[in-house]
Amino acid sequence: MEDIVKEAREAISLSHEYDRDNRREAMEDLRFTAGFQWSDAAKIERKNRPMITINRSSQFVRQVANPIRQNMPTIKVEPDGDEDSELAEVANGLFRRIQYNSSASHVYAGAVEHMVACGIGWFRIATDYLSDDSFDQEIMIKRIFNPLSVYADPSSLEPDRADMNWCLVSELMPRKAFEIEYKGKASASIDTPVNGDTNMNWGGGDYVRRAEYWRRKEVPKTIARLKDGQTVNITDMPKRQLDQLKSLGMIEATREAKGYKVTMDLVSGQDILAETYECPCKWIPLVPVVGVEIPLEQGVYRHGLIRFQREPQQLYNYFMSVAAESLGQQPKAPYMAKASAIGKYKNMWDNANVSPTPYLLYDGDEAPQRVAPPPLPAGLIQMAQMMEDSQKSTTGQFDAALGARSNETSGVAIQGRIEQGNQATSHFVDNLEHSLEHTGRILLDMIPKIYDTARTLKMKADDGTETEAQINQPTIGVDGTPMMINDLSQMKFSSVRVIMGPSYASRRAEAVQALTQLSQAVPAIGELGGDIIVRNMDFEGSEEMADRLRAVLPPQVVQATDPEAAQAMAPPPDPMAEMQMQGQAQAMQNELAAGEAKTAQEKAKARQEELKVQGVDLDNALKLKKLREPSPHQMARENAPMEAGN
């Protein structure tokens, strides 16, 4: 026997022994939910007597699990900085793509039902090729059908088991199927049941045990911080490249860190059945969804919702069975009569309780008297009612939460009682969130290693619409340096958050209800937002009706939200109106031109008048000047004596 097989056998025995009590009780919880609620001893004791099973356990389980189905959490990435927002959007698109392609909501729902029913559920993150002729891989989220097929490391303490160093997923295969799939591998029984438990033998009868043995080993590594702020792993870096970084002074600091390597070996009780698989993740990709865990001296006690409902349920079944038995033992002929009175009518009286008879004949004067049946023991009914109330108390689910009519009459009171039930079971939702946070960390660790080639991926939006995104696409930057579009190898987010909320369809229904109620109080909302209300309704033709309602909205309303749509919604121009407007514009233009011409004429006439006035003034000035100047004769007479004197 190889060492790895021996190690796997010892590991599964250790896990089974440590968790033996929890596993036994969990199996009983599952059987109880399925309706197997009478013990073998009770069946022997009540042989040939009524054994009624009124299964309320499954109702309580679904009362907690189904609201989580309707409000399934979603995983989102929070960018560490503004520069990471674009990669965060790509990561969120990949999360939606992986979960949509995996039908992850159904996977989570199965794990939640197991958590509520028996205290723990499991699912896994796996990888697979896109097709048989492709090298591109895809990440998938898959269910683990039987939660008790997982044997975890008992030293792990985290509720999401992120710290477990090994884990096994085991199942019993039909021997003939094993021999066909693994030809040449031993299928004979090699051991006796472990610790007397027939569920733990590795071979026997018509079945052979096959197990996935996952191991997580610490691998030391050396990391370096570069001048540009990047952190790189230089453990296996080629010496030439490392020397070049050192010579260029790019390395600021180095330190030793912890790394992890996860592998999986598929084994039977004697052989290794397949080559070792190296997982592209530093965590074992198996995620539990845990109910309630209570630390005790002898170990951890784990339970779900049904554990403490089982005994009241058994007593409820018992008292109802005893009541039915008591009714069945009542006399079949509830009449007291003389034999002579019904002698010749015996056949009629014998069949009175089988076939409808309009009358019953008898002889004599004294009519047969009806005998009242013995009363049903009131104690049985009271005890059954007490056990019914005890089931509600142990699960925290009361009449209002179960849909039954109770003392509450107002909607607020009913909602308050439902909220009390939700508070009593909210820890199941919180534990699911914790597990999905770890799922997000696993996905973030695997994405850069699986989506490591240049691809164009179809992403899913919240509303189900598809968009395309290029990843790992080489290109040339503006400065001429090579760069990568959406380089997923640089995707290193430290924050993963889980958002609880209704699905997209549920949000649409809630939006319709809220807007309808609001429009009743404020009618203007219905007039201005009728297209939004109808668009969120889920009926054939809702989109077309919404478009028609939007088409009749006032243009200013559409303009406020979508200017381009408002322009497109504008009515086409009327040719006659356009010609009329052009004629009016031409008339106005002609009138304006005529006015301008008249104004020019008036200005010219005014100028002429102005020039004329200026000419008259000049003429008058010349005349005045001429009158003031002496004449030539006067100047001659004045100059004559002067010449004579000389």
Question: What letters, b where the CB count within 10 A reaches 16 and e where it falls short, cover 343-368?
Answer: eeeeeebeeeeeeeeeeeebeeeeeb
Mean pLDDT of 443-464: 83
Q: What pLDDT sits at residue 322?
A: 87
The answer to which of 338-347, 425-434, 601-610 has the lowest mean pLDDT is 601-610
Are the C-beta atoms of residues 286 and 150 closer than 8 Å to each other?
yes
Q: What pLDDT sits at residue 577?
A: 64
Mean pLDDT of 420-447: 86
Q: Taking Cα atoms as reference points, which of 22, 30, 29, 67 lies closest to residue 426?
A: 67
Q: Which amino acid is at 30?
A: L
Question: Whole-structure pTM over 0.75, yes or no?
Answer: no
Percent of the chain with pLDDT over 70: 79
The answer to which of 170-179, 223-232, 578-587 has the lowest mean pLDDT is 578-587
Residue with tokens 């102005």, as numbered in its chain: 610
CA 18 to chain centre: 35
Q: What pLDDT sits at residue 138?
A: 92
Is the pLDDT higher at 457 or at 618?
Answer: 457
Q: What pLDDT sits at residue 628?
A: 66
Residues 292-321 pLDDT 10s: 999 998 889 999 999 999 999 999 999 888
Residue with tokens 């199965």, as numbered in its chain: 110
Q: What pLDDT sits at residue 439?
A: 93
Residues 195-212 pLDDT 10s: 444 456 787 778 889 999
- Residue 177: left (phi > 0), alpha (psi -120 to 50), or beta? alpha
Is the pLDDT higher at 328 or at 165?
Answer: 165
Torsion angle defined by CA atoms of residues 170, 175, 180 and 181, in that order, rounded to the nearest 10 degrees: 0
Residues 369-419 pLDDT 10s: 887 766 777 787 788 888 888 888 777 776 655 555 555 555 555 455 555
Mean pLDDT of 555-583: 63
pLDDT band of residue 627 (cuts 50, 70, 90) is low
pLDDT at residue 215 tops 80: yes
* Beta pairing partners, 301: 294
Q: What pLDDT sits at residue 117?
A: 94
pLDDT at residue 646 tops 50: no
Residue 293 sits at φ, ψ, to 5 deg, of -125, 125
pLDDT band of residue 265 (cuts 50, 70, 90) is very high
pLDDT band of residue 32 (cuts 50, 70, 90) is very high
Q: Taking Cα atoms as reference points, which of 218, 212, 107, 200 lies closest to residue 167?
A: 212
Residues 173-192 pLDDT 10s: 898 999 899 988 877 655 55
Is the pLDDT higher at 174 or at 522?
Answer: 174
For the record, the structure tokens of 98 come out as: 């992986």
pLDDT at residue 435 tops 70: yes
